[in-house]
Structures are given as C-alpha cells and as structure tokens.
Amino acid sequence: MYLSRRGLLYGSAGVAAVSLSGCGIGGEDDKQLTGFTGISMPTDTSERWVIEGKALEANLKELGYDVVHSNAKDVVEDQISQIQSMVDEGVEFLIVAAIDNKSLGQVLAAAKDKGVTVISYDRLILETPDVDYYASFDNYQVGVLQATHIIDRLGIRDNEGPFNLEIFSGDLGDNNSQYFFMGGLDTFESLLYSGKVVIPSGQTEQDPTSTAGWSGDVAKERMDTLIKEYYSDDRELHAVLSPYDGISRGIVAALVENDYEPGTAGFPVVTGQDAEAASVKAIKDGTGQTETVFKDTRQLAHTVTGMVQAIVEGGEPEVNDLGTYDNGFKFVPSLLLDPVDVTAENYVEVIVESEYLTEEQIDAGEA
C-alpha cells in the first residue's frame, strides 16, 4: 500500500513551486526534442477523460508537436498495446492515465529504454521506476471536502445523532481511490469513534466499499443490497459518502427505486466528484446528490502541456510536491492542483462563470 497520512498531505498543500535540478529528462539529451507525444486515456464512460484527451491533443498540436492519442475504453491489455505502439512510433513523451495502476511496468520499461519521458496523468502509476512526473489534484482533500459536506449539511457537530452513514469508494486498480477514501474516513474519524456517526453495514474498509470500474451500475446494485440488508427495519440512512458523480447517480437511482424521495428531508445526503453535467443538474434542481467536487481539468491539461513544453525547450517542469506520492519505487515529483467543493449555492460561480459548463448543458444534463 502507498498510504500517505494526512500530515504529509497537509504539509504539502500550498508548497511553492520548486524546480528539480538534475531531474530534467529531455533537457540533458543531446538530441533536439520535437515534442512528439503519445496520449493514453483510460475510459470513455466518464466524460472527463474524453474531454481531457482532446484538450491535451489540441494544446500540444497548437505548440506544433505531433500527437498520437488513444482511449483504451477500460481494457487493460488494449492500453498496454496502444502505449507499445506509441513507443514503436517514436514518441518522446507519454501522458498516461492508467486503467490499472500496476499493469504498465513492462511497457514503460520499454519506453524508458528509448528515452521517453513518462508523465502519469491524474492517476499515479505504481510499482515501476519509469515514471518521471505526476500531475493531479490534491486527492486526499477531495475526500475531506466530501465528508465535510455531509457533516455540515446534516449539522452533525451540533446535533446528538447518531447519524447513519454508508461509504462507497472507487476502483481498486486506481491509486486515487485510496486517497479519496482516506480523506473521507479521516474526516469522520472522531465522529465514528464517539459513536455520533455509525456505519450500520460495518463496511468500513476500502475493499468491500470499492466500485469496480467506477461503474454507476455496480454502485446501484451495492446500494440496493445495503438498503435491503440494513435499512429494511425503518432505520434511517442519513448520508452516503460517494467518491465520483457516476457512482453517485447509481446510488441515487437505487435510493429512488427503494422509495426514498429526492428533495425531501428523508433523502440521504449524497456527495460526488467531477462536476459532470448530469450531477450538477441534480444539485441545481435538488433531485439527487447535493455536492460534487470540481477539479478544473482544463487546468490539468494545460499544466501537463506545460510540462512537455518545458522539457522540449530544455528546461524543467514545475512541480510543487516531492514527498507525497510514493509509487513503490520512489516519490514521484508531482504537480498538485486544488479541488473545489460545489453545491447549489456556488455552482453558478464555480462551474458556469468559469465556463466549465453552461446553464444549458447543466439543464440538459450533458456536456
């Protein structure tokens, strides 16, 4: 496990950008780099990866760099072979968002043999020395924001409780899942300890709460089972900690099927992440989850483009964290951006005014 404790992450937040002397990869190479880059995205079932793949491609092309771009659509073997063909085509840079964080060691070793600079995009690639940089958001803080929303919305600190909570976590093959999970659980820690918050299912570990493939359908099924097993005797369910909007919508669908009515006081507080249009619509209309965490992925794509450009131009990419993300071989130099909590109160300012989504897209529930 590559668990990083709260202290470390809090310690890293807000650290000024530092440069990495001696870590520049391409800059020290004699050969003039052209910026030829391979982009490997993991899935097309969640809208962000499709949008970001396109944004990265457009940004890099605007700089005059050649790009090969693929989306492995949740098939690990396809991602490996797509990356291998990028290496065979002679890319100098790889930007990879892994489906399964432990499956890319061999193909990245082949890339390293050819001097390719590897940037782990949003999801840290584990158990290989052949990752040069990591760019993402403060993933632990995402979990903190979600849990804090539940605590504030239910007024848990000012009420006696106990409050019944269930937890969902992300795909086990994605390194981010444990950070979201830990951020959430650590935030609830003292409340769980004092008994003010209770998890009736007893499912408090990452494994039983995980959601294969980040799938809404998988989440829906688990929520349905939890309701039937633990909430059939009039026990109230007050909140569901959900790590991602697609999962949240699955949870809400199961709740609705089990006669919980969105918008009423008896409907559990459900969190989320990614500011997907359908979820922001539910937040706006009061028809499901009440929170999501916005990560400005345009900024992430821009930052990673800047990393490639810096190296092509003989410099070093900017990073702001050297001691949090241990991939099993090393602490990977990282650039972490800030996630933002979104509710009905601030979605206009955060999502619409920043032009991430228009009101029309939100109303249509589609980006």
Among 9, 48, 133, 341, binds ligand GAL (CB under 6 A): 48
Among 79, 101, 103, 273, binds ligand GAL (CB under 6 A): 273
Edge to edge, what strands does the sheet with 67-71 contain? 67-71, 37-41, 93-96, 117-121, 133-137, 334-337
Q: Name the residue with the smallest CB distance to ligand GAL.
A: 46
Q: Cβ of residue 345: shortest distance to ligand GAL, in angstroms?
A: 22
Q: What is the DSSP string of 331-355?
A: BPPEEEEPPEEE-TTTHIIIIITTT
Site residues for ligand GAL, 174-213, by CB under 6 A, read 174, 176
Q: Cβ of residue 14: shortest distance to ligand GAL, in angstroms?
A: 21
- CA of 204: how far to CAs of 152, 170, 181, 234, 259, in Å? 21, 13, 10, 22, 25
Distance of CA 106 to the CA centre of its chain: 24
Among 65, 121, 188, 214, binds ligand GAL (CB under 6 A): 214
Return the number of the residue (69 or 123) whose C-beta is nearest ligand GAL. 123
Cis peptide before 243 (omega within 30 of 0): no
Question: Counting contacts by CB under 6 A, is residue 249 touching ligand GAL?
Answer: no
Q: Cβ of residue 123: shortest distance to ligand GAL, in angstroms?
A: 5
Site residues for ligand GAL, 291-330, by CB under 6 A, read 295
How many residues can be counted in the chain? 367
Return the number of the residue (59 or 176) whose C-beta is nearest ligand GAL. 176
Q: Cβ of residue 162: shortest distance to ligand GAL, in angstroms?
A: 30
Q: 157: which DSSP letter?
A: G
Alpha-carbon span 363 to 367, nearest angstrom:
10
Site residues for ligand GAL, 142-181, by CB under 6 A, read 174, 176
Q: Are 32 and 1 in contact (CB under 8 A)?
A: no
Residue 75 CB partners (closer than 8 Å, separation 6+): 99
Instruction: Supply the angle between the helices 176-194 and 139-153 in degrees, to the nearest 10.
Output: 40
Write the binding mask 99 to 138 for ligand GAL: x where contact by CB under 6 A, - elsewhere. -----------------------xx---------------
Phi, psi angle pair for 67, to nearest 5° = -140, 135
Q: How many residues bind ligand GAL (CB under 6 A)?
A: 11
Among 74, 100, 138, 274, binds ligand GAL (CB under 6 A): 274
Return the number of the residue (82 or 273) whose C-beta is nearest ligand GAL. 273
Return the number of the residue (254 or 337) whose C-beta is nearest ligand GAL. 337
Return the number of the residue (46 or 242) whose C-beta is nearest ligand GAL. 46
- CA of 327: how far to CAs of 9, 102, 134, 162, 174, in Å? 15, 10, 10, 38, 12
Instruction: Sort strands 292-294 and 239-241 into parallel, antiparallel or unpaired.
Output: unpaired
Residue in this structure with the two tokens 């489906």, named with its chain if needed: 99
Q: Which amino acid is at 322?
A: L
Return the number of the residue (2 or 230) whose C-beta is nearest ligand GAL. 2
Type and span of the H or E element at 118: strand 117-121
As a whole number of Å, the end-to-end CA separation of the chain is 36
Return the number of the residue (214 or 356) whose C-beta is nearest ligand GAL. 214
Q: Cβ of residue 119: shortest distance to ligand GAL, in angstroms?
A: 15
Q: Cβ of residue 292: shortest distance to ligand GAL, in angstroms?
A: 10
Binding site for ligand GAL (CB under 6 A): 46, 48, 122-123, 174, 176, 214, 244, 273-274, 295
